[in-house]
Amino acid sequence: MAQLKVGDLMVELDEDGFLEDHLVWNEDVAKALATTEEVEELTEEHWKMINYLRDYYEQFGVAPMVRKMCKDTGFDQKKIYVLFPAGPGKGACKIAGLPKPTGCV
């Protein structure tokens, strides 16, 4: 099991780099996870997607389907890949602190 040091906090990651415990997530953890996903700076657009994903997960207990994500945020799939090069599941959900989505390779 891997670990990520975020300030004075050590967070546990699974074999794919997702948080073992999504409850330890905070903005500093998101910034640290972003660096592991080739996202150098989290912009307002990144935060819009991250906050959407976290709110959706809190409400429904799963990550949204990509189609729903695009509809609700107004970002097309191409834009999501520009913001999160690893994609909506591996990149965006990981940075948002969500568990690895089902079907995510």
Residues known to be catalytic? 104
Long-range contacts of 98-105 (CB under 8 A, 24+ apart): 98/18, 98/22, 98/53, 98/54, 98/57, 98/63, 99/18, 99/19, 99/22, 100/14, 100/16, 100/18, 101/62, 101/63, 102/62, 104/16
